[in-house]
Structure 1
Amino acid sequence: MDTEAIGRLRQLDACTVSDALDSLGILGTPLGIRPMWEGAAVVGRAVTMKLAPFGEGEAEKPVHLGAAAIEASGPGDVIVIDNGGRVGMGSWGGLLSTAAIEAGVAGVVSDGALRDVDEARVLGFPVFARAPITRTARARATEVSQGEPVEIDGITVRSGDIVVADGSGVVVVPAERLAEVVGIAEGLARREAGMVEGLRKGLKPSEVMGPEYQNALKRAQQ
């Protein structure tokens, strides 16, 4: 894992990273997943898990969903949960947040709903999902895999890919494109900082955000 590149990503926002992915033609922005508390933000290596609806007559597993992902995670990792967009039950909760913090996990992204949002906020544990909910996953969802590739809103996420999430949403950077994406994103951030400076010096928006701005992503590829 390129810890230096991930450290550089932490200096950027999700929108800038998304622009860098766009410039490379990489689909990496799942829609509809948002922070569950104001100010939540995280950057880290993905550790995946997948849930499925609990089958009629199915026996409950002896280990709670999410436990294996926590135990497979290292410090700074982000657990990514594929619950197929289902929001009828929680896919994560307060006890798991506490266990994750103790293991050094940096945050959770769920393509579903999660519980105990207030507890996560008090703990300062970043959680991203489609919705908050009070309903338990017990007898409603079961864990079917951990560490295998998953899909979040049609975006494939593999353990080891990089997750960037903040108030604007979630972005997934393929691990093998990390250095390339970081370099382009940093260039875009520098360009935008120059534009902000121009606006503060009195330039008109049409001067700052004209054709030069519109073509910024195309130039990023050159």
Structure 2
Amino acid sequence: MSDLAAPAEYLALGASALSDAMDRLGINGSCFGIAPLSPAFTLAGFARTVRYVPCGVVKGTVGDFIDDYDETTVAVLDNSGRLDCTVWGDILTDYAVRNRLAGTVIDGVCRDTALCREQNYPVFSRGAYMRTGKDRVQAQEIDGPVSIGGVRVEPGDLVVGDADGVVVVPAARATEVFDVATEIVAREDEIRSAVRAGSKLMAARIKFGYHHLQTRADS
């Protein structure tokens, strides 16, 4: 097993390879329906979490949760997949850029997206919608477990996003996932090299075990 790699090294492997590795290891880590606002956006860092719920009769706050976040932090916001009100906008983007946050992932929508693209600040979400979450949702829990695209996220889990989507690597299994993903990338590189050298695709795939790269070890 390797020592724990830096977030950038996980990002270099790519979300697809990490997803494949977690499939082999039986880990649910691929966040369904969460996509970058720009295909050029990437992020990698450690989760800090906020869980939102609908407001009651007494309105709660949307949460001033971001003051102690830094360049290793991915803000992970669980708004239960709601598409009718946002939990991220231009003020938060300005603050995140100034403090060099790694990025933001939302199970829900954001707004003021032109600023995200202009500032090259990576936001991954279910889309964009202009209506505010104020007086509609409130921050119920900060730094607790949340759900993003059907994946449980704990504070400190590794979050990686690229043009293909977002994966969450549980902190306790991060080294294991990295090792398996590295193997998968190497095998696929060998297949590509063989095909470029004139091999038939089927032969290259059989030679390098392509059809079993994602198969669960206990299958």
Query: What TM-score, normalized to structure 1?
Result: 0.90
| Equivalence for 2:168 | 172
Shift of 1:203: 1.9
Deviations 1:67-95 (A, max 9, x none): 31x22322221010000011101111111
Indicate if the aligned counterparts of 1:45 and 1:78 stay in contact, CA closer than 8 A: yes
User: Which 5+ residue runs of structure 2 have no aligned equivalent?
Assistant: none
The 1:38–1:66 alpha-carbon spacing in structure 2 relative to 1, beyond 3 Å, is farther
| Equivalence for 2:20 | 19
One-letter code aligned to 1:41: T
| Equivalence for 2:212 | 215
Shift of 1:218: 4.2
How many residue pairs align between the two structures?
Answer: 215
One-letter code aligned to 1:161: D
Indicate if the aligned counterparts of 2:32 and 2:150 stay in contact, CA closer than 8 A: no
Query: What TM-score, normalized to structure 2?
Result: 0.91
Deviations 1:83-124 (A, max 9, x none): 001110111111101111222211000000110111101110
Shift of 1:220: 7.4
Shift of 1:15: 0.3
Query: Within 1, Cα distance between the matches of 2:213 and 2:117?
Result: 37
1:79 corresponds, among 75, 79, 89, to 75
Query: Within 1, Cα distance between the matches of 2:100 and 2:183?
Result: 31
Shift of 1:176: 0.8
Deviations 1:100-149 (A, max 9, x none): 12222110000001101111011100000011111111222111111111
Shift of 1:3: 6.6
Determine what percentage of the aligned residue pairs are the same residue. Answer: 35
Query: Within 1, Cα distance between the matches of 2:128 and 2:216?
Result: 40
Indicate if the aligned counterparts of 2:25 and 2:216 stay in contact, CA closer than 8 A: no
Deviations 1:161-180 (A, max 9, x none): 00011111110000010111
One-letter code aligned to 2:32: L
Indicate if the aligned counterparts of 1:187 and 1:220 stay in contact, CA closer than 8 A: no
**Residue 185 (structure 2) pairs with residue 189 (structure 1):** yes
Shift of 1:53: 1.4
The 1:178–1:36 alpha-carbon spacing in structure 2 relative to 1, beyond 3 Å, is same
One-letter code aligned to 1:59: K
Indicate if the aligned counterparts of 2:4 and 2:175 stay in contact, CA closer than 8 A: no
Matches within 5 A, 1:118-129: 118-129=114-125
Query: Within 2, Cα distance between the matches of 1:66 and 1:104?
Result: 20
Shift of 1:217: 3.0
The 1:190–1:80 alpha-carbon spacing in structure 2 relative to 1, beyond 3 Å, is same
**Residue 199 (structure 2) pairs with residue 198 (structure 1):** no
Instruction: Specify which structure has the higher proportion of helix.
Output: 1
Q: Hey, which bits of structure 1, 4+ residues long, moved more than 6 A? A: none
Query: Within 2, Cα distance between the matches of 1:36 and 1:179?
Result: 29
Matches within 5 A, 1:84-163: 84-163=80-159
**Residue 57 (structure 2) pairs with residue 67 (structure 1):** no
One-letter code aligned to 2:169: V
